[in-house]
Chains A and B, each alone.
Chain A
Amino acid sequence: MTMNDLQRGDRAVVLKVELPVLLKERLRSLGIFTGAKIKLLKGSHKRSTWLLQVGSAHVAIDGETAAGIRLWKI
């Protein structure tokens, strides 16, 4: 499951991040890594960009990057 399968307000656990190393590292430093809990706050027009809550931070990521994050809905 990826971000596309979540609805606004859904919570999920990150199962795997399948992205280039440096992008993966950036996501890690923002709190998005295997085992981290996220909440989907919003998706922009045509779901091209997503807004997530990770801990106390609000993180925006584009659709292609989001597609590389495997999730488990909780």
Chain B
Amino acid sequence: MEDIKLLLVGNPNAGKSTLFNALTGGRAKVGNWHGVTVDVLERKAVLGEKRVTVCDLPGIYSLASMSMEEKLTRDYLATHDGTVVFVSECAGLERSLPLFCALLQKGRAGVLVLTKRRSFLRRGGSLNESALSQKLGVPVLIADGKRGFREKLASVLPVSPPAQTIRAEDALADAYTPVREGLSRLDGLLLSAPVCIPLFFSLVLFTFFVTFAPNHLGDILKCAIERLFTQTLAGAASGISSPILKSFVADGLLGSLGGVLCFLPQIFILFFALLMLEESGFLSRLAYLTDGFFGKLGLNGRAVFSLLMGFGCTSAAILTTRGLDDKKIQRRVVACLPYIPCSAKLPVFLTLAVSFSPNPFLAAAGLYALGILLAVGMAFLLRGKEKAPFVMELAPLQIPRPLFVLKSLLFQLKQFIIKVATVVLAFFMLSWLLSSFDFAFRLCPVEESMLATLCGGLRFLFAPIGMNDWKIAYAALSGLIAKENVAGAIAMFFGGFPYSGASGFAFAVFMLACSPCVSAIAATARELGAKRALVYAVLQTVGALLLSYFVYFALSGGAVTLVLVLMLVAGAIIGRIIYERIRRKRGKHPEKFHG
């Protein structure tokens, strides 16, 4: 069998990752916005009788590319051979074809794959693919979502470079009529701030309400799973005669994993809302409308995508910052992202919410709002004098495809369950072992266990906020591995959060503002370097600790509060001054745009 390398190239949001998934059965992240794919994905597949390696490359506009992920594609194309499978929307062919022609001129063999033909024809465009194929000297295929595309592609492989190349305009003459249409009525409405911004906040509030409010969908489903763990399974575990096995199953396995898995429905609803925003093209409108606001913070509208992705997973959101065009803006967004509560913090917030608010909806919404404020505050603190340029093509408005949404949701849930069944489970097995036995490996109370000896010193960490308990500190720090661990550790040690009022809220604030998990730190290291990632993580954790002390004292009153406020403000101002001085000393004046 032949082995052919296929490089999926095209403008952002042309449908490359969708094609990659269709050809390979892969699960590359797809979305209706520009810059979803930020890294090269490779996967082997068999098309007909041909063995192929399909590479999904980040979207690129031209070979003189600008953004970080475009540079990645350009460099990959410069160093790797293979047949270019150039993916273009029919409506965008006029703009993207010059890039394909430029690649053909470089001696590449290529296939042109056109997507979204039905909507193009419906909007009045016309296309003669056989004429286009003849002029370009390469196969032109239509990917219209119907079966048989794999076979069609296999039938034209392998492809040779065209004998002679042609200019894009000449290729399109008489073979292509573009669509020329203005804004639809709905688009016009969504692109107006008085409609779009309130609509966005209403959608967010509605999602939070359905997710967190008592006796609503999220809560009802959560209680059902809780019952499964606390009554049915724990009931079955009570019949186990061996005390060690019983402790392992009841406290370790059901207590901790149940404490995390019961939040599955709420995470499901949150991801569903995020997917709908992504898929509908709403985020592009929001990016356009918020560019002015983000410009004042030294960011640009494009940051909306990464910040909103942060509600799902901080680590994935950090990787999307590659599409931000400018390294300095990327650094600012990466510094802000840990304050945007990711879905893994949701179980923690809901575990803690009962301690300081009778209404979990208000508590969770308040914590999310505080997270957004902290992120904006951080951006403000790091803002530069220059505004980052903003140039973005609006993704089309569309009704989210139900099958796609369902598949994406199931994939996210699978990822969550895999994480719980691997990282979280391994952590709890170790925690149970260390907290159930002493150094002579005899079953003992937790306070006499190995873990108590090893982590006893941590008790001072949260003593200033009224929690002189090493188990709380251990739970908090376990969040560095995976945030879900915090909720599970609390469930394992205490059943529920044992503190109330100011202590509970201050601890929630610590969880909100502290360093993200190791996978997010690794993502930061990948984007900004290990040293910077480590500095960010340490500063965020120390900052979160100080903030939680401040919140506690502010809530419990006292003169110390005033001193702490002054210390925090002074620290922020001094930090900013030192930062400016270092910049001036190094002669780092505001960089010109990619100059």
In this complex, the interface size class of chain B, counting residues with CB under 8 Å from chain A, is: 35 or more
Please report which residues of chain B, range 382-408, place their CB below 8 angstroms from some CB of chain A when the two chains form the complex. 387, 389-394
Q: Do A29 and B61 touch across chains, with their CB atoms under 8 A apart? A: yes
**Bound: A53/B292 CA distance, A:** 20
Please report which residues of chain B, range 336-391, place their CB below 8 angstroms from some CB of chain A when the two chains form the complex. 387, 389-391
Residues on the A chain within 8 Å of B287, using CB:
60
In this complex, the interface size class of chain A, counting residues with CB under 8 Å from chain B, is: 20 to 34
Please report which residues of chain A, range 17-74, place their CB below 8 angstroms from some CB of chain B when the two chains form the complex. 19-23, 25-31, 39, 41-42, 44-46, 48-49, 51, 53, 55-62, 64-65
Q: Do A53 and B592 touch across chains, with their CB atoms under 8 A apart? A: no
Q: Do A20 and B182 touch across chains, with their CB atoms under 8 A apart? A: no
Output the nearest chain B residue to A42 by Cβ-Cβ distance.
Answer: B191
Residues on the A chain within 8 Å of B389, using CB:
23, 61-62, 64-65
Q: Do A29 and B193 touch across chains, with their CB atoms under 8 A apart? A: no
Residues on the B chain within 8 Å of A42, using CB:
183, 188, 191
**Bound: A28/B92 CA distance, A:** 14
Q: Do B64 and A44 touch across chains, with their CB atoms under 8 A apart? A: no
Residues on the A chain within 8 Å of B413, using CB:
none
Q: Do B292 and A29 touch across chains, with their CB atoms under 8 A apart? A: no
Q: Do B594 and A51 touch across chains, with their CB atoms under 8 A apart? A: no
Residues on the B chain within 8 Å of A59, using CB:
391-394
Output the nearest chain B residue to A27 by Cβ-Cβ distance.
Answer: B391
Within the complex, the shortest CB–CB distance from B32 to chain A, in Å, comes to 14
Q: Do A58 and B391 touch across chains, with their CB atoms under 8 A apart? A: no
Q: Do B178 and A56 touch across chains, with their CB atoms under 8 A apart? A: yes
**Bound: A13/B292 CA distance, A:** 26
Known: A22-B64, A60-B288. A51 touches B94 (CB 8 A): no
Residues on the B chain within 8 Å of A62, using CB:
291, 295, 300-301, 387, 389-391
Main secondary structure of the interface of B (DSSP, over half): loop
Within the complex, the shortest CB–CB distance from A25 to chain B, in Å, comes to 5
CB of B91 closer than 8 Å to a CB of A:
yes
Residues on the B chain within 8 Å of A29, using CB:
11, 61-62, 95, 99
Within the complex, the shortest CB–CB distance from A10 to chain B, in Å, comes to 12
Within the complex, the shortest CB–CB distance from A14 to chain B, in Å, comes to 14
Residues on the A chain within 8 Å of B188, using CB:
42
Q: Do A25 and B295 touch across chains, with their CB atoms under 8 A apart? A: no
Within the complex, the shortest CB–CB distance from B139 to chain A, in Å, comes to 24
Q: Do B94 and A55 touch across chains, with their CB atoms under 8 A apart? A: yes
CB of B206 closer than 8 Å to a CB of A:
no
Residues on the B chain within 8 Å of A27, using CB:
391
Residues on the A chain within 8 Å of B181, using CB:
56
Q: Do A20 and B393 touch across chains, with their CB atoms under 8 A apart? A: no
Residues on the B chain within 8 Å of A56, using CB:
91-92, 94, 125, 178-181
Indicate the member of A41, A48, A53, A61 with the most B CB atoms within 10 Å: A48
**Bound: A55/B393 CA distance, A:** 12
Within the complex, the shortest CB–CB distance from B305 to chain A, in Å, comes to 13
Output the nearest chain A residue to B300 by Cβ-Cβ distance.
Answer: A62
Output the nearest chain B residue to A65 by Cβ-Cβ distance.
Answer: B389
**Bound: A60/B394 CA distance, A:** 7
Known: A28-B62, A31-B95, A44-B291. A58 touches B387 (CB 8 A): no
Q: Do A30 and B393 touch across chains, with their CB atoms under 8 A apart? A: yes
Within the complex, the shortest CB–CB distance from A41 to chain B, in Å, comes to 6
Output the nearest chain A residue to B289 by Cβ-Cβ distance.
Answer: A44
CB of B411 closer than 8 Å to a CB of A:
no
CB of B593 closer than 8 Å to a CB of A:
yes
Residues on the A chain within 8 Å of B295, using CB:
48, 62
Residues on the A chain within 8 Å of B557, using CB:
none
Output the nearest chain A residue to B386 by Cβ-Cβ distance.
Answer: A64
Residues on the A chain within 8 Å of B64, using CB:
21-22, 25
Residues on the B chain within 8 Å of A49, using CB:
288-289, 291-292, 301, 390
Please report which residues of chain B, range 59-115, place their CB below 8 angstroms from some CB of chain A when the two chains form the complex. 61-62, 64-66, 91-92, 94-95, 99
Q: Do B62 and A25 touch across chains, with their CB atoms under 8 A apart? A: yes
Q: Do B291 and A64 touch across chains, with their CB atoms under 8 A apart? A: no
**Bound: A59/B12 CA distance, A:** 13
Q: Which B residues have a C-beta under 8 Å from some C-beta of A?
A: 11, 61-62, 64-66, 91-92, 94-95, 99, 125, 178-183, 187-188, 191, 193, 284, 287-289, 291-292, 295, 300-301, 387, 389-394, 592-595
Which 7 pairs across A and B sit closest by C-beta, in order of nearness?
A: A29-B61, A48-B292, A62-B390, A29-B62, A58-B394, A22-B594, A60-B288
Provide 7 A-B residue pairs closer than 8 Å at the C-beta atoms, listed in order of the A residue: A26-B61, A31-B94, A53-B180, A56-B92, A56-B94, A59-B392, A65-B390
